[in-house]
Structure 1
Amino acid sequence: MKFYIKQNKVLFVATILVSVIASLGYVFMAILLQQLLDIAVGKDMQQFIRMVLFSIFYFAVLGIFLYLQSLLSKKVICKIIRQIRSDVFRGTVNHSIEDFNKKNTADYISIITNDVKMIEDNFLLPLFEVVQYAVIFTASFLLMIYFDIIVTICVIVAIAIMFLIPSFLGNSLEKRQQKYSSKLADFTVSLKDILSGFEIIKSYSMKRYVVQRFNKENEETISSKYSVDRLLALNEGVSSFLALMVQIVVLFLSAYFIITGRITVGTLLGMVQVSSNLANPLMMIFTNVPKIKSIQPIVEKLQSISKYSLSHSQKEHISSFDFCVCTKDLGFSYDKQKEVLNKINCTIEKGKKYVVVGKSGCGKSTLIKLLAGYYSDYAGTIKYDNRELDLLDRNDVAQLSSIIHQNIYMFDETIHDNICLHEDYPKEMIDNVVIESGLAEFISELPEGLLYQVGENGSNLSGGQKQRIAVARALIRNKPILILDEGTSAVDMQTAYDIESRLLEVDNLTLITVTHNLKAELLNKYDEIIYMENGSIKENGSFEELINTGSHFSEYFRLKE
């Protein structure tokens, strides 16, 4: 948090300065009250009029500083929260695909929303309150000495007892805050999971189950919050009691000293006012200090994400590949237990067209994700022109290929935005990819054309329309490698055939297609068929070479016909 305070040090210092002035002005109201009562007891009308005029001016200036204090504190908090959210989000999108998938998406949402809100509520707001009330307490304490030293000594004893409270509650509160943060993340994950499956819930009459599940998660989250609130309530209750004791001590001692003639009635009023300025600030300080301490684990979690960056030190930059991408003895496992790929050896030559086929679960999609640099924790080697993938900048590798997945994600924006992804392309290029992807007829029927809003994750589109947009999205970038991971499975057979045929005719494009749809006319156009079984490449070659032999592929092909 020190970093963000330094980033806004001018505004932060100005806020503190205004807060100090406003707090001092608030404290010295006690002297006004003392003098006003003494003037009233003395029945001095001239002094009374002067006091009234001065008080009007005094309270007007004080009101201005109180307003500035509130305004500036809110402004600096808004700036810091904005910066924290931006840094956490930037750190999130800096993650590699591999690292990002280690957490549920809802975890990131909870961190950016719930945890950042906790920073505001349990750190920034309490911090300014502690500064404000510390000034009020210090000034009131000095003023109390000015009024009477004996009363001040009695107040010090009560304050010493109050100092013990935060030390007893701080550690427990920190642990409960951390647990509550985790529970909020779990709640967000569960809620996202339920709402993402809304169609399944309605189709399979799961309403009763999901309501019970939600209520259970909601109850556990509220219970975790209440465990924090319960400790805060204990802290506030004890602090309030001791603060009240301070005021009672001051009131009875002051009354006794009036009887003995030690102080005036005006001094009594001033001391009662000052005692409230001692007791209430102390109560607020000892309420807020545990909050500030308890938020440290949340701060550390936010910092770990904000400062995340891919390791680029000594990484070689790559802007293209000239010859081939090849693997040797490539192995991979998602859970370190079940092997998904085993000793994969293959070569993808630049400009050639490859189709990867095999039964579901044989490792086809995993292989192409590894070739595209999605994962780093693999066995064996992956090389781009004899340069080991692990030694290359992953961001550069990602720019070499476009992947069209079976499950296409659409942003809740226009068709144009989902194709261009907010990059500038000439209209001619956009028109060309619209035609090549088979979108032209669909777009011509829309009054808005390319400006048609697709809805949440393309809810206003059919599956085929979404995949056509994804094809256009990939084509317009003209990257050297294009990967179709079941990328035309949701379009009709003729459109799928047309799209693949066009892609197969692009001379400088390295095409890798993963598919279950086996059409001899298309397979014959590929330079090489890679047939996989159980995480291994069983055989590879041209369609003519494999279909005319008693190969594993020929058996698979005839079963699929």
Structure 2
Amino acid sequence: MAKLSLTKYLKQFWRANLLVLFWTLIGALCLTGNGLASANILTALVAGNTHRAIAWGTVLLGLNLLWSVELGAYKISYTKAEQQMSIAMRSDIIAGITGNGYAAFHKQDMRTYVSWLTNDVTNIQDLGFDILMFVVQQVLTVIFSVGIMVHFHYSLLITIAILVVVMIGVAKSFGNRLNDASAAVSHGNELLTRAVTDILGGFDTLFMLGRLPLIGAATQRASRDLAARKNRYARADGHLMGLTNGVSLVSQVIVLLQAAILYAMHLTPVGAISAAAYFSGTIFSYLTGISANIMEMRAVQPIFAKFPVSAPAATEQAGVQMQPLRTNLALTDVAYAYPDTKTPTFSNLTTVFRASGKYAITGESGIGKTTLLRLLAGITQPVAGSLAFDGTDYGQIAGAELRRRIAYIEQNPYIFADTLLQNVTLGDDFTQEQLDHAAAQVGLDVVVADLPDGWQTQLDAGGTNLSGGQRARVALARNLVRGKEILLLDEPTAALDKASAQQLIDTIVGLTGVTVIMVTHHLSPTTAAKLDGIVTLAK
């Protein structure tokens, strides 16, 4: 995928943007035509030519009516184009976030991604698309205005050109300051999103401890930081606008005086003075806007630069296609160490998990039990040793192929704010028979029968309207219905009472034709007796 930029989306939706450009052109013609008609009306009246004045007045009326139509049509066409581009941009950001593998996704937290998709997209709309279309209108209007000024006398073009060079030079001097300030505001939005999400997530804890004022304090602290960043941007932008507007006002006076001198020398009609006042104001005020707006548009690029581009690793795209597990999963001299640590979590680990066997991984906290599951799932890589699926090294197997065979279910499986059916199917098509069979395997059929709307029952985000055991059964069913033959379970009973935990474990251990490897802190003698093996990690 190409790097994200304004140009990419303008090209992608060129038809919609071409319609916007058409109405922008009409608006620029109406604006400059208005000034020309007014100047010619004045010239005709001074010359005593009433009929000519009325004719130009009629032209002026027609232009204004067309202008009113253009304003409405431009708004509609631009909004459609902007929303098409914004939808595509969010899709590309999501593709970049999710398309580079498990490790790349977890380099940022969810709050940063939310900020990208909300705050940053809004900033790009405001500082990128909105301003670009405004700049196009300004450029067209300036071109038409300069043409009309040349119509009155060529020397006006020379003066305008010199003053434009001065104005552009002034604007360029602020470019880097605006870029840096824009990037700082974008980062401040991320920090605010993180802070608010984090502190609100702890509401229950703060409520019970009588510390709810911390929510307001944390929000205010992050808000003040963002305000300071926005104020720095406003200072840079304000200095730019103040200086360029000062140059613009001086330039307008110079052109107006030149037009008056040309009239006094009988080189232009009296209407040229009116035209000079109108069009010099248009030209230099618009050039002021163009200079500042281009600097603001450049400030969008650091935002685009943050977004990753989807580039799946070679192991995700190609590799050996695997059949269902027939013999075993084998680890040979496997070692793992967390980044930036010298001491390995574990090393020289060699073990075998036979197909359709039921296994437990035990050991004290922090010993690497969850890490071992992640290694078996192929989402974490060992620093030494090898893992094999029926004798085939993991490195030779496509990541997608591993995930087609292996289910990794975390301690708190995620439940989406959707129906129970959608939480199991996740948009894939399954027959009712397949769904019912998967549900019956893990006892979810009983849950479905008890829910008010069965499979169509709406679940809350995180599954807050389900018990811990019910959430676990939903997660198991969504994997079994897809034919996953290897279940890697991280503390599946951690949030359950003893009776519910044993009931769920009995269900899991009783699954036929499925390899089960589960992490547990509390392995009862009853469960241990039903297992084919126990791997105990120790320092």
Q: Same fold (TM over 0.5)?
A: yes
Matched, 1:296 2:301: yes
**Cα distance per residue 1:118-143 (max 9 Å; x no partner):** 22122222222222211211221222
Distance in 2 (CA, whole Å) between partners of 1:91 and 1:301 is: 11
Matched, 1:58 2:63: yes
Distance in 2 (CA, whole Å) between partners of 1:368 and 1:471 is: 16
Matched, 1:115 2:128: no
Q: Following TM superposition, by how much is the alpha carbon of 1:259 offset from its aligned partner in structure 2, in angstroms?
A: 4.6
Q: Following TM superposition, by how much is the alpha carbon of 1:25 offset from its aligned partner in structure 2, in angstroms?
A: 3.1
Matched, 1:148 2:148: no
Distance in 2 (CA, whole Å) between partners of 1:333 and 1:121 is: 45
Q: Following TM superposition, by how much is the alpha carbon of 1:290 offset from its aligned partner in structure 2, in angstroms?
A: 0.7
Q: Choose which of 260, 263, 271 in structure 1 pairs with 2:276.
A: 271
Partner of 1:451: 456
Contact 2:171 2:244 in 1 (8 A): no
AA at the equivalent of 2:194: V
1:350-389 map, 5 Å:
350-376=355-381, 378-389=383-394
Partner of 1:326: 330
Contact 1:92 1:308 in 2 (8 A): no
AA at the equivalent of 2:281: S
Matched, 1:7 2:2: no
Q: Following TM superposition, by how much is the alpha carbon of 1:10 offset from its aligned partner in structure 2, in angstroms?
A: 2.7
Q: Following TM superposition, by how much is the alpha carbon of 1:164 offset from its aligned partner in structure 2, in angstroms?
A: 0.8
RMSD of aligned residue pairs (Cα, Å): 2.3
Distance 1:268 1:377, change over 3 A: farther
Distance in 2 (CA, whole Å) between partners of 1:501 and 1:94 is: 37
AA at the equivalent of 2:449: S
Provide the secondary structure at the position in 2 that maps to 1:468: helix
Contact 1:334 1:340 in 2 (8 A): yes
Partner of 2:107: 102
Partner of 1:431: 436
Contact 1:465 1:491 in 2 (8 A): no
Q: Following TM superposition, by how much is the alpha carbon of 1:440 offset from its aligned partner in structure 2, in angstroms?
A: 4.2
Distance in 2 (CA, whole Å) between partners of 1:519 and 1:530 is: 15
Q: Following TM superposition, by how much is the alpha carbon of 1:70 offset from its aligned partner in structure 2, in angstroms?
A: 3.5
Provide the secondary structure at the position in 1 that maps to 2:537: strand
Contact 1:341 1:367 in 2 (8 A): no
Distance in 1 (CA, whole Å) between partners of 2:95 and 2:329 is: 31
Provide the secondary structure at the position in 2 that maps to 1:90: helix
Contact 1:89 1:306 in 2 (8 A): no
Partner of 2:490: 485
Contact 1:358 1:533 in 2 (8 A): yes
Q: Choose which of 227, 231, 248 in structure 2 pairs with 1:226.
A: 231
Aligned positions, number: 532
Matched, 1:408 2:413: yes
**Cα distance per residue 1:367-400 (max 9 Å; x no partner):** 0111011113532111112222123211211121
Provide the secondary structure at the position in 2 that maps to 1:60: helix
**Cα distance per residue 1:62-120 (max 9 Å; x no partner):** 43344433433332222111111111112222242222122111111111222222221
Distance in 1 (CA, whole Å) between partners of 2:432 and 2:318 is: 40
Distance in 2 (CA, whole Å) between partners of 1:28 and 1:57 is: 10
AA at the equivalent of 1:153: I
Distance 1:314 1:398, change over 3 A: closer
Distance in 1 (CA, whole Å) between partners of 2:421 and 2:78 is: 42
Q: Choose which of 176, 187, 190 in structure 1 pairs with 2:192.
A: 187
Q: Following TM superposition, by how much is the alpha carbon of 1:58 offset from its aligned partner in structure 2, in angstroms?
A: 3.0
Partner of 2:257: 252
Distance in 2 (CA, whole Å) between partners of 1:440 and 1:60 is: 68
Q: Following TM superposition, by how much is the alpha carbon of 1:176 offset from its aligned partner in structure 2, in angstroms?
A: 1.9
Distance in 1 (CA, whole Å) between partners of 2:29 and 2:57 is: 20
1:20-59 map, 5 Å:
20-59=25-64
Partner of 1:309: 312
Distance in 2 (CA, whole Å) between partners of 1:154 and 1:41 is: 27
**Cα distance per residue 1:1-43 (max 9 Å; x no partner):** 2322221223333433442343133213222111111223344
Partner of 2:216: 211
AA at the equivalent of 1:126: I
Q: Choose which of 504, 508, 527 in structure 2 pairs with 1:503.
A: 508
Distance in 2 (CA, whole Å) between partners of 1:281 and 1:479 is: 63
* Identical aligned residues as a percent: 24
Distance in 1 (CA, whole Å) between partners of 2:80 and 2:323 is: 44
Distance in 1 (CA, whole Å) between partners of 2:409 and 2:304 is: 38
**Cα distance per residue 1:312-367 (max 9 Å; x no partner):** 46533435333221111111122331422222111112122212122222221110
Matched, 1:201 2:206: yes
Q: Following TM superposition, by how much is the alpha carbon of 1:509 offset from its aligned partner in structure 2, in angstroms?
A: 1.0
Provide the secondary structure at the position in 2 that maps to 1:163: helix
Moved more, 13-22 or 402-411: 13-22
Q: Following TM superposition, by how much is the alpha carbon of 1:61 offset from its aligned partner in structure 2, in angstroms?
A: 3.0
Q: Following TM superposition, by how much is the alpha carbon of 1:441 offset from its aligned partner in structure 2, in angstroms?
A: 4.3
Partner of 1:136: 141
AA at the equivalent of 1:306: V
Partner of 1:287: 292
Moved more, 447-456 or 28-37: 447-456
**Cα distance per residue 1:214-243 (max 9 Å; x no partner):** 222211111111111211111111111111
Matched, 1:522 2:517: no
**Cα distance per residue 1:486-529 (max 9 Å; x no partner):** 11333344443343334334332111122223222321121112
Matched, 1:84 2:89: yes
Contact 1:247 1:275 in 2 (8 A): yes
Provide the secondary structure at the position in 1 that maps to 2:487: strand
Partner of 1:336: 340
Q: Following TM superposition, by how much is the alpha carbon of 1:442 offset from its aligned partner in structure 2, in angstroms?
A: 4.2
Provide the secondary structure at the position in 1 that maps to 2:93: helix
Moved more, 103-112 or 446-455: 446-455
Q: Following TM superposition, by how much is the alpha carbon of 1:414 offset from its aligned partner in structure 2, in angstroms?
A: 1.8
Contact 2:331 2:388 in 1 (8 A): yes
Contact 2:203 2:212 in 1 (8 A): no
With structure 2 as the length reference, what TM-score do the two structures score? Answer: 0.92
Distance in 2 (CA, whole Å) between partners of 1:25 and 1:194 is: 53
Contact 1:319 1:396 in 2 (8 A): no
Distance in 1 (CA, whole Å) between partners of 2:234 and 2:76 is: 28
Contact 1:354 1:512 in 2 (8 A): yes
Distance in 2 (CA, whole Å) between partners of 1:157 and 1:505 is: 86
Matched, 1:241 2:215: no
Provide the secondary structure at the position in 1 that maps to 2:66: helix
Partner of 1:167: 172
